[in-house]
Each structure stands twice: as C-alpha cells, then as structure tokens.
Amino acid sequence: MRVRLLSICAPEPVGSSRRVRYGGGTAPGRQGDSGRGSGVLTGSEGNVVFPVAAIVGAVWLFLFVVLLIAPPSPGPHEGGGRGEGRAPHEGGGPGRGRTRRAPDADDVPPAVVSLLARRLDKCGFGATLVDLAARGWFEVRAPAGPGGPGGPGGPAMCVVRAETPGGSLMPFERRVVAHVALRAGARGEVPAPALSDGFGGGETEFMSAFRGEVDIEARRLGLTRARLSGRRIGLLLLLLFIPAGALIPVAAHGRGWAYAGGLYFAGFLIAVGVGVSRRRTASGRAVLDHWRSAAASSSGPGGRTRAYAAALGAAPATLAVFTPGSTNVAWSSYRGSWQLIEIETNTWSWSRGCAIPVAIGLGPVLYFAVAIWLGTHGMVLLAEEMVGLVVAAGIAGGLVALARRTAVPRFAEFDGQVIRQWMIKGDSDSEDEYHVAIDDGAREKAWDLSIGSEPYRRLTPGTFVRVRVNLRSRADVTVAPVEPPTVAHPLARVAADQERAATNSLPDPADLVTEAEAAAILGGKVRGNHVDGAPGRTMVWQPPSTGRPMLRVEVRHAADARRVPPTARPAPGVADGYLVSQGAAVTVSALTALISIHGTVHIASEASLAGLLPVVEGRLRELARRLPLSLILINIDDGLIDSSIWNHANDPLS
C-alpha cells in the first residue's frame, strides 16, 4: 500500500504543470487513481478499515459485558436513578448520603419473593391468596361433604370472616382482596378454585396489573435494580458511534451509512433492552436466601411460611387448592349454590375445522367424478339414481332446516349473570374480540356472547344482566346491566378503596355523553374507547373506520382543571362553563368536564357543544352528588347488611 505525503508548503516539482479537470471523466490509463480523494476507500484500504471496525465492535461488546458484571456504585443510589424505588435510609430521607437500610425479610410480601425467585407468573397470585388467608382476611375450609362439583371430595371453600384483621395492604394485595370480596358476594363464601377465575376486566388485564404492582413494590423496597444504570447505558450508546462510524467509508454508493445505521440500531436494542431489565440487588438476594432456607428447614410449614414456600414453588399442594379446572368451565352461584358450568363453544375444533373445508372442496369433485365414471362405463341408471338421491337429500335437508328455523323463535330474551370475561387479541386483519360468559340458570351450558369494548368494561363477573340475542345471528346481541355485583360486607371497604384507586375517584366519562349524542354530533355511527390516565379519565368517540372526526370527553378533579383560555366565552345555560373554538368545559362542585371536537363535523362545532353542555352539567351534578357515597351502598334491612360495588354506568341518569 502506497503512502503519499503531501505538504502545502512543499515546492512544486520543476517541469510539472497544474491541471484543471472538468467533469467526472478519467483519462485513459489513469483509472487506478479514481478512488483517491473521492471519500471512498479502495479495496485494499477497505480491507484494513473493516477489521478495525470489527475489533472496535468486539471491544464495545467486552465493555458491555464488564458493565453488566460490575456492581453498581455504592451509596443510596444502588437501586438506580430517580424513580427506581429506593428503600428507606437510616437517619434521613433518600439522597442524604446515608447508608441504605435493607428491608427485613419478614416485611417482604410473598409475591415479591416469588418475583425475586422468577416465579411470579406461576406462583405469585396463589402465594398472595395463601398469605392473605394466613393473615385472617378469609378462611380456607376443607370440603364438608363426600362429593361435590369440584372433584371426589368437592372443592375447598374460602369463607370471609366477620371481622377483618385490618392493617395496611399493598396495592397488589388490595387488588386480590377486592377480587375475593366480589367473588364471595353476599354469601361471603366462594370455592377456592373460583378465585383463580372471574377476574374483573379479564384474566390477562388483571394479572398484568397485579404483576406490575408487585414489581413496583420490589423497586420501592430496593430489592431489584436495572441491570445497567442510565449513565452506563448512555456511555455505551456514545461509544457505539465509534464502530458504527468506522463502517461508513468501507462501502461505496452510500452503503456504509446503511451498515453503520444497522450496527448502531442493533447495539441500541441490546444496550437498552438488556439494560432496563431488572435483576436482584444484594438486599434482594439476601431476602431470597433467607426464605429459601426457611422453607427448606421447615418440615411442615405453617402460617405465613406456607405462603413463602408456595411463592418459591416448594409447596405445590398448597397452591393446588386454588388451581382452576378446565378453561371451558366457570364457577357460577346464579343457581342458588356454587356450580361448575360449561361454556358453549362457537368455534370448531382443530380437526373439524380442517375436515369440513376439505370435504367442501373435494366432495363435489369426487361426486361428479364418480357420476361421470359410472355414466361412461355402462352404468347410466346407477349414475342417474345417485344424482336423484343427492337432489332428494338436498330438498329434505332444506325442508328440515326451514322447519327448525320456523319452530325456533328468532330472538331469545333472558336474565342471567356474567361469570367470566375474556378478550381475544386481533391482528392487522381482524379486530379484538370481547366475550362474556352468561349463566341464565336454565341451560346446561353458559352463553358465550361477543360484545363491544365499551359494554365489556361494564359487564364485570357477578353483574346481573338482561340479554336479548338473535339466535340466527349472534352478532345481533344486547347485554344490559341490571344490578351490579355484590360484595362480602366485611371486605366492602377494601373493595371500595380498590375502586377509588382504579378510577381516581372520578366518574366514567361515558356517562356524560352517550353514544347516540356523540353520533349526532359526528354525523354517523361511532365507537367509544376509554383512555384512562392521570390526571383524569377520558372517553373518545370516533367513527369505526377512521380516526377523524373525534369527540373527546374528559373528567378531572377541579383542582387539576386546565386554565381558562383568554379567548373563552361564557357558555349559555350553565352556571360555570365556557366555550372556546371547538372545545367546551363545565365545572360542578369538585369535578370538571372537558369536551372537544377534533376534525370537521357536519354541524357547527360551537353550536353543538353549546347545546350539549347543559345536559352534561346536569349529569355531572348528579355524579358529583353521588360520588362520596356511590362506591359503597349499604342497605340495612332487619339486621341484614348487604353491600355492593355500584358501577356508575349501571345507574341510568335522569
């Protein structure tokens, strides 16, 4: 490889002349110099740069591994940066430079221990149930009779005690206790396997929230930390520019930028994906080792030790009490006692789903092939008889189907109770499906009805409903809530606290503007989607096929309301409200409703909002009046106390 040394101060050799070249051409015989000075390396130079980039990339990977292995910096920031959930510090608050105080092992809930043992998905929920029972929130009783619906000895029963132990509950524990309260109902008892079913919002949503709250608690106690701190991730991403930049001059025609971008993107995914994942801290390892030793040394774990053993997977028999049955059955108390009810299936099995299309596709082909073969081999009469039999069978089948269609009523109306919710996630070609299973108290199987996303939110398990379904087209179905689920009275306060935490003590914005009103403003059929999050609750109405126009309804606490814009004008017909462009707001007591139109509508936006705002004000006033007492309704009648969680959506507003 030639090395040319150039100097701007060196004199030009005698006899040489300056040449000015125009265009991109190259004189014959000088093609070898075309790559010089063009910014693109020749083959020999590229062969040197590429190994250099590979070596630098290997060094970056080595540094990445070293930073993963190296312990975090000592001090109060062991759990990570801001928001990592530091544990309390001795003698002062976080960030005062004092030594971190490790949490006591007895103060760590079993669900967090299951997270440390990487068994949260399998054992976390069951271990929490065992722990709550050991702490006196409910009692697990062995089967009373020789037989029952749950097996040879019947299922164990969970009975809510008349007096709760009190004390504070972690958010995930409060969620589980509220679930027990709703499943136990007014009777105050529920089969143990039924606690692993009938989750409000569906099992997927419930368990996702449960795991998230357990993870937050582990961070708060300082038992887990990010594998890489934010500073280390930033350092790795900064150093990643070196191997990525070394690839730029390797390839011609701009391919080096593509290689460099691909390398940096891959390194970004590795650094961030691995860096933000969680690992145990020293305190977390100590807690885990403590409970592993306690579970191993105890021959017959009792009390809370059973819960910790279950959290570690060392007590499968303890968790077996809460193991649900088949996925196609659900527990129901609608018929007077707890029973296992099979849920109807509206889909074909795998074998049937494959056999029927094959039969439909190949059956006619084989039929005509046989008929033609018989006709061409001297068996014309037999072929004609075969054709006649098929025609006769088709006519008979049509008459039977017509008779059944006439005999069976088109619509079925009945009362029932929701016993399960579940969602089937769609893909790019299909939408999400929302299903509820309803026990009508008469059929052998529970109904499987597909409903929209908004009715799905209102129809939590235990809700009493009125159903009208088209038996010829299951798409035509109406499920209206009649009465909310009842809760066990001793746990009513906990259930109310969970309801407040889930809704931020705010009413459902779907109660302020109905679907019919939104359709009138937007000029066509609409669908609603909840977008809940701080600082308020939001309902978005929009056409099913497009994103615009959109009607957005949000409810906030008055303290979190936005400032009144300078261009706002007082709204007519309301006491405290204003209009501004395509938006409006009204405040009643401690609640504020914000309504806005996004996109173009067929009527004047301001006129439509001005007419809607007085109606919203009346509904908001009713909701504000009910809010302090709406979460718990206690009806006292002859000494019998019956408590229930009241969903605002189930109470029609006048």
How far apart are alpha carbons 153 and 160 in whole angstroms?
A: 21
Least Cα distance to 620 among 593, 581, 651, 584 occurs for 593
Decide if 86 contacts 218 (C-beta within 8 A): no
**Cα 650 versus chain centre, distance:** 24
Determine which of 136-140, 152-156, 328-332 has the lowest per-residue pLDDT on average. 152-156
Number of helices (H) and strands (E), helices first, in the chain?
Answer: 17, 22
Average pLDDT over the chain, rounded to an integer: 77
Amino acid at 432: D
Delimit the domains of the chain by residue range: 43-70+229-276, 119-142+150-227+291-320, 504-635
How far apart are alpha carbons 385 and 370 in whole angstroms?
A: 12
State residue 27's pLDDT score: 44
Phi, psi for residue 600 in degrees, rounded to 5 = -100, 130
pLDDT at 376 over 90: no
258 pLDDT band, cuts 50/70/90, is confident
253 pLDDT band, cuts 50/70/90, is low
pLDDT at 45 over 70: no
pLDDT at 218 over 70: yes
Of 463-467, 496-500, 504-508, 514-518, the range with the highest mean pLDDT is 463-467
300 pLDDT band, cuts 50/70/90, is low
Report the pLDDT averaged over residues 241-250: 76
State residue 408's pLDDT score: 65
Report the pLDDT averaged over residues 528-533: 74
Can you read off the two tokens belonging to residue 563? 């400032």
State residue 219's pLDDT score: 92
State residue 250's pLDDT score: 62
State residue 209's pLDDT score: 92
Decide if 200 contacts 461 (C-beta within 8 A): yes
pLDDT at 11 over 80: no
297 pLDDT band, cuts 50/70/90, is confident
pTM of the model: 0.73
Q: Tell me: the pLDDT tens digits for 553-575?
A: 888 887 777 788 888 888 888 88
Decide if 590 contacts 621 (C-beta within 8 A): no
Q: Helix (H, G, I), strand (E, B), or coil: what is residue 322?
A: coil
How far apart are alpha carbons 555 and 586 in whole angstroms?
A: 10
Q: Tell me: the pLDDT tens digits for 379-391?
A: 777 777 777 777 7
Residues 6+ apart with CB under 8 A from 437: 330, 343, 418, 419, 420, 421, 446, 447, 448, 449
DSSP class of residue 406 equals H
State residue 536's pLDDT score: 81
pLDDT at 176 over 90: yes
State residue 7's pLDDT score: 41
213 pLDDT band, cuts 50/70/90, is very high
pLDDT at 52 over 60: yes
Decide if 88 contacts 101 (C-beta within 8 A): yes
How far apart are alpha carbons 601 and 581 in whole angstroms?
A: 13
pLDDT at 175 over 50: yes
H or E element: which one contains 206?
helix 203-220
Report the pLDDT averaged over residues 347-369: 69
State residue 132's pLDDT score: 93
How far apart are alpha carbons 2 and 52 in whole angstroms?
A: 19
349 pLDDT band, cuts 50/70/90, is low
pLDDT at 339 over 60: yes
H or E element: which one contains 342?
strand 339-343
Report the pLDDT averaged over residues 249-278: 79
Q: For 229-267, b where at least 16 C-beta lie within 10 A, e where not — what string?
A: beebbeebeebbeebbebbbbbbeeeebeebbeebbeeb
With a pLDDT cut of 70, the percent of the chain lying above it is 76
Determine which of 91-105, 114-128, 545-559 has the lowest per-residue pLDDT on average. 91-105
Report the pLDDT averaged over residues 210-236: 90
252 pLDDT band, cuts 50/70/90, is low
How far apart are alpha carbons 490 and 188 in whole angstroms?
A: 9
CB atoms inside a 10 Å sphere around CB 600: 10
102 compared with 219, residue with greater pLDDT: 219
pLDDT at 455 over 80: yes
Decide if 411 contacts 470 (C-beta within 8 A): yes
Please compute, for residue 126, the number of CA atoms within 13 A of its CA located in the half-sphere on the CB side.
25
54 compared with 204, residue with greater pLDDT: 204
**Cα 617 versus chain centre, distance:** 33
With a pLDDT cut of 90, the percent of the chain lying above it is 21
Phi, psi for residue 559 in degrees, rounded to 5 = -70, -25
Q: Tell me: the pLDDT tens digits for 182-202?
A: 999 988 999 999 999 999 888
Report the pLDDT averaged over residues 482-489: 89
Report the pLDDT averaged over residues 371-379: 76
Residues 6+ apart with CB under 8 A from 166: none
